[in-house]
Amino acid sequence: KNEVEQSPQNLTAQEGEFITINCSYSVGISALHWLQQHPGGGIVSLFMLSSGKKKHGRLIATINIQEKHSSLHITASHPRDSAVYICAVRLQETSGSRLTFGEGTQLTVNP
C-alpha cells in the first residue's frame, strides 16, 4: 500500500463545476504539498500545508492532521485547470525536504 493515496485517479468536469481532489496518507508528516503538472511535464507548487486551510484565487487546500487527510478544491473550474494534480508529503522521520508522492489525479475540464 502506498504511503500517499489520491482519489480519484481521473476526473472529468464541465466548466464552472466545483472540484475536489482527495489525498490520504498513512504516516506522520511534517508538511503536505499540492503540485500541478501540465501536459508539457513541468511541475508547479500550489500549496504547502502543515495545518488548517490555504486559499489562492480559485484554489483552496485543507488538511486534517488527525484524520491524515487533505483536499484540494477548485471553484468555478476552467479548461485551463486541466492538469495532473499531485499530493506529496514530507515524512516526520526524514530530515531535509525529501518528499513522498501520490500517483496524481488527472483532471480534465471541458468547455
Cβ atoms 99, 88 nearer than 8 A? yes
- For another protein, which is the closer residue by CB, 5 or 17? 5
What span, in angstroms and rounded, lies between the C-alpha atoms of 55 and 73? 9
Task: Answer left, alpha or beta for residue 92, where phi above 0 means left and psi between -120 and 50 means alpha.
Answer: alpha
Report in angstroms how near the CB of residue 76 gets to another protein at its nearest: 26
The single-letter code of the amino acid at 57 is G
Residues within the interface to another protein (CB under 8 A) = 2, 4, 30-31, 33, 35, 40-45, 48, 50, 86, 88, 90, 95-104
Report in angstroms how near the CB of residue 45 gets to another protein at its nearest: 5
- For another protein, which is the closer residue by CB, 75 or 97? 97
Report in angstroms how near the CB of residue 107 gets to another protein at its nearest: 15
Report in angstroms how near the CB of residue 16 gets to another protein at its nearest: 29
